[in-house]
Amino acid sequence: MVLSIFGGRSARSVGSGISSATSGSGFSAMMYTQTKSSQIIQQAMAAGLPNYEALERKAGDIFFHIDQNTAGHTNMIAPDVCFKLDSVDSGRNEQGHRQDGVRKVPLIKDIRPALVFRFNDSSIARRAALLAESWVGKVRYSDGARGTGFTFRSIGAALGSSYFGLGAMARLQKYRSREGMAPKNLICSEMCILAYQLSMAETDHGFIRLDAKHTLPATFMRYLDASPHWTRIAFRLPDTSFASSASGPL
């Protein structure tokens, strides 16, 4: 996802006590958020975090690809922790077939370095992973120019505000009324945020107070890093000797 290195507009999330960015909007605010995500990655490198491959994986763990030292494509560990869940505008599923939208692929095929975060309630995290898995093959990525990274959904996310307000609340209510609580379209960070939001009540501790539709990976990473309910646990440094036979983003 080309736009995924940029964060959405800034705001203070309602009731969260977490400042998700600075004031302002537009390109300057997006660049600020990108810079802040780069600082988080540099701090994590300096902290000497362990390699995720050596830790016990848990369903619902969130990891961000590191793209030129900033937050890139967002992923979630599936209930079967040998797999990951994500949403792409052009990719392949676990059978190797081309797929647009939410998919499930073997984790070993993702050879990109990443920074990993874990929620402090493993039962909710697993519930979120199960919900995201139920969207596989059913929820599309976006309308627009597929395969380019520049789709209506990703452009709208970049231009909107990540503030958790009435619009975000209304969309959650709409999704909760649907079978499987399934949205029609999701970008990568939106998939991870909504899976958690729809697995919790808005009054629960740790509820992600971001507008999922208008939150790109850099803003999402900043939010998780500042939250007392999430822990920056590891870098993911997979075995790059594995060569995926599939083309497209993993």
DSSP codes of every residue in 78-99:
-SSTTEEEEEEEEEE-TTS-EE
What mean pLDDT value characterizes the chain? 81
Residue 236 phi, psi dihedral angles, 5° rounding: -105, 115
Contact by Cβ (8 Å): 9, 214: yes
pLDDT at 36: 84
Whole-prediction pTM? 0.81
Q: Give SS3 for 230.
A: strand
pLDDT digits (tens, 9 = 90+) for 64-113: 999 888 899 999 999 999 999 999 987 666 676 667 899 999 999 999 99
pLDDT at 164: 92
pLDDT at 238: 83
Residue 87 is which amino acid?
Answer: S
In this prediction, residues 117-140 reach a mean pLDDT of 97
In this prediction, residues 176-180 reach a mean pLDDT of 95
